[in-house]
Structure 1
Amino acid sequence: MRSIWKGALTFGLVNVPVKVYAATEDHDVPLHQVHNKDGGRIRYQRKCEVCGEVVAYADIDRAYDDGDRTVVLTDEDLKALPSERSREIDVVEFVPTEQVDPITFDKAYYLEPDSKSPKAYVLLRETLQRTDRTAIVRFSLRQKTRLAALRVRGDVLMLQTLLWADEVREVSFPSLEDAPKVSKKELDMSASLVDSYSGDFEPDEFVDEYQKELRTLIDAKLEKGDAIDTEATFGEETEEEGGEVIDLMEALRASVEKSRQKREAG
């Protein structure tokens, strides 16, 4: 891995030099667009609407238009912002972990100690674990001020950037205003269904079926060309059971029984 940012975690007078690494990566099969008529590659060009020239990315500035005037902002202008010059990840407060709503989670980053002695890093890590707290931090990265949750994963500190409060939509569905009451029998049967599916979450047990099937399709077309038999490649498609539930209790009972049979067979 290559670090994308270097700075220091600060809380009180404690300074923890760190390197920041992206914690996740995309596993999707890379695809590009082509013309369906002749297979030609589709490419996008950045053209200036004034002179018509194709403009290199290095020669592009940003601008703000208020409807009457346009202000051009160069890279030098943006780099001059005080928050952009800062290389600190500033701890704002330590909060109970359960107060951080997962809906606000955005991108994840690993932090590596960047000093001769990682003692301050280890101290902060152990303190977060012992107190069951999450540190709310503020820092600047890639021309944006970020709010993030600093937490522990294994023996590593990690940042989980957070959406700002006004980026999370409030919701109220009219269909739930006069929702029907649920009986105790339905709750008990539903709880039984949950129990029949209960287990420990093991991420490695799950795979991205779409990407797996896409890779199979690509391999088949590389081997046999366009005249492939998709039924032979993937097997005959079967219809899934579904549709509107008429009798909720009966559907719950059938689901519990199906889950039981599946576990016994496995």
Structure 2
Amino acid sequence: MPRAIWDGVISFGLIVIPVKLYGATEEKDPVLHQVHAEDGGRIRYRRVCEKCGEEIPFEGIARGFEAPDGRVAVLTRQDMTQLPLRSGKTVEIVQFVDESEIDPVYFEKTYLVEATGVGAKPYVLLRDALAATRRAGVVKVALRSRESLALVRPRGDLLVMDTMLWPDEVRDPAFARPSAEVIASRAEVGMAESFIEQMTGPWRPDDFSDGYRAALEQLVAARLSGVPLPEEAPTSADQGGEVVDLMAALRASVEAARKRRQSAGDASPGADSGQGRTEEAG
């Protein structure tokens, strides 16, 4: 059973739902520490003040904001706890919205919402009403002493809460937009659409796996047992090259996708590899 990271109430209108929040995701990568390469000893860091040179205990550490002119505003833990957070233990749904209107770039982290005590009936009421109207509730919630915008929405038999970035935290994307002078021809778009159709299949998350994590676990196991890792031959994904003829590359991509689909039958594309996520992160 995971540990709840927040407990309080969600309210809409005059209805109050006592709830707890749990992280909806968890890290699976092996935990790696910094160690001395020669003997494996852990590397430890000391908290040293650069002004007086003294090592500072945790309870002596505060937060600080440095102004452009060099002045430092020291903020103690008491200062931080006294900041007004109206959304402390009660979060009120202030608006209902169509979730499809929200750009996914705003979403930060998802939490599972569990009803507690007498909250089960109003929890089910809110869940079913949101599902029937295809709406989500907008709230403000204080998690770990920081106020966040959030969305309460149904997910199957559960309610979940997605914390979101504030509007001024989302960067203006105009700088990354391609020049208006760059135009894809109708034939090129049509060929790209054909490729997309060949690679389209039902979303089955279990078909995908983290190839990097599997390789890291294999490497750790090999080091612990003192055996060498088998060498792998480079794959076609490792052999990059400049695309000279866009249409030719699209045709070849469509044909390759068609052949893979025929050989795999009805299997979902990407089911045999977890490389996609690792390559994007790299």
Q: TM-score, normalised by structure 2?
A: 0.84
- 1:211 corresponds, among 210, 213, 225, to 213
- 1:137 corresponds, among 133, 136, 139, to 139
Alignment CA distance shift 1:174-1:64 (3 Å): closer
Deviations 1:50-82 (A, max 9, x none): 554433323323234444654443333322333
Rounded to whole Å, the distance in 2 between the matches of 1:265 and 1:68 is 66
Rounded to whole Å, the distance in 1 between the matches of 2:176 and 2:235 is 36
Alignment CA distance shift 1:11-1:123 (3 Å): same
Structure 2 unpaired stretches of 5+: 265-282
Between 1:165-174 and 1:149-158, the stretch displaced more is 165-174
Rounded to whole Å, the distance in 1 between the matches of 2:87 and 2:74 is 20
Within the alignment, does 1:91 sit opposite 2:93 as a pair?
yes
What is the root-mean-square deviation of aligned Cα atoms in Å?
2.2
Within the alignment, does 1:236 sit opposite 2:237 as a pair?
no
* Partner AA of 1:176 in structure 2: P
5 Å-filtered alignment, 1:120-199, equals 120-173=122-175, 176-199=178-201
Q: Aligned-pair distance for 1:32? A: 0.8
- 1:79 corresponds, among 75, 78, 81, to 81
- 1:257 corresponds, among 255, 258, 261, to 255
Alignment CA distance shift 1:234-1:203 (3 Å): farther
Q: Aligned-pair distance for 1:23? A: 1.1
Rounded to whole Å, the distance in 1 between the matches of 2:72 and 2:244 is 60
Q: Aligned-pair distance for 1:19? A: 0.7
Question: Contact (CA 8 Å) 1:18, 1:113: kept in 2 or not?
Answer: yes
* Partner AA of 1:149 in structure 2: L
1:246 paired residue number: 244
Alignment CA distance shift 1:152-1:52 (3 Å): same
Alignment CA distance shift 1:260-1:20 (3 Å): same
Give the match's secondary structure for 2:202: coil
Rounded to whole Å, the distance in 2 between the matches of 1:175 and 1:128 is 36
Give the match's secondary structure for 2:174: coil
* Partner AA of 1:74 in structure 2: T
Give the match's secondary structure for 1:106: strand
Q: Percent identity?
A: 42
Alignment CA distance shift 1:172-1:39 (3 Å): same
- 1:118 corresponds, among 114, 117, 120, to 120
Alignment CA distance shift 1:234-1:93 (3 Å): farther
Alignment CA distance shift 1:236-1:70 (3 Å): closer
